[in-house]
Amino acid sequence: MTDLRIPISEEEIRALHAGDTVGLSGVMLTARDTAHKYMIENFIRTEQVPAAEQEIYEKLKADLGGGVIYHCGPVVKKDNGTWRFVAAGPTTSIREEVYEPEVIEHFKLRAVIGKGGMGPNTLKACQDFGAVYLQAVGGAASLIANSVAEVLDVYKMEFGVPEAFWRIRVESFPAVVTMDSHGRSLHDDVLAKSKAVFQRLVA
């Protein structure tokens, strides 16, 4: 396993290959559909960042430069004024395919975590800008929550708990590189092998 401290350098990312296991430590952000759409509309496909959104834009830039986005809609609980993650399983990533390449480029993102893989545009962005897609273990939401050492902040709670940006500190968060910065996707490999087996079965 390769231990990575966030923020992660491009050199560290380029050294990874599909199939490698990693343990992430540091600060990352959760972001799902609404958060991605918000970033695209307010910060990326716009000529000027709205004044009302400038503060959060600066916060996001600070965390996402060399940082990590986790496709996760957590289950959270508040104890004595402090949030904690009860469950933190990955959500399906392909829904963010229409947004992720631009987010990777704009914010200089180094890793995206989720489940199920992403498409060719995100794979190309990983190649072009030095990023990887990491597969988290589906069905282990409570176990993964143990890697979340602390909830540091939450942005845009008006989006709802699953869709808000949760700023979290993780320790030894386990994941597998399934799309690397060299153009390889294990998801594509599995699909190709499955199609070949199918063709043999129906021949």
* From 17, 36, 182, 187, the catalytic residue: 36
pLDDT in tens, the chain (203 residues): 899 999 999 999 999 999 999 999 999 999 999 999 999 999 999 999 999 999 999 999 999 999 999 999 999 999 888 999 998 889 999 999 999 999 999 999 999 999 999 999 999 999 999 999 999 976 666 777 889 999 999 999 999 999 999 999 999 999 999 999 999 999 775 555 555 554 666 66
Query: What residues does each domain of the chain span?
Result: 2-202
Q: Tell me the C-alpha distance between 166 and 101, whole Å.
A: 21
Fold of 2-202: fumarase (3.20.130)
Residue 81 parent element (H or E):
none
Reply yes or no on whether 36 is catalytic.
yes
Q: pTM surpassing 0.85?
A: yes
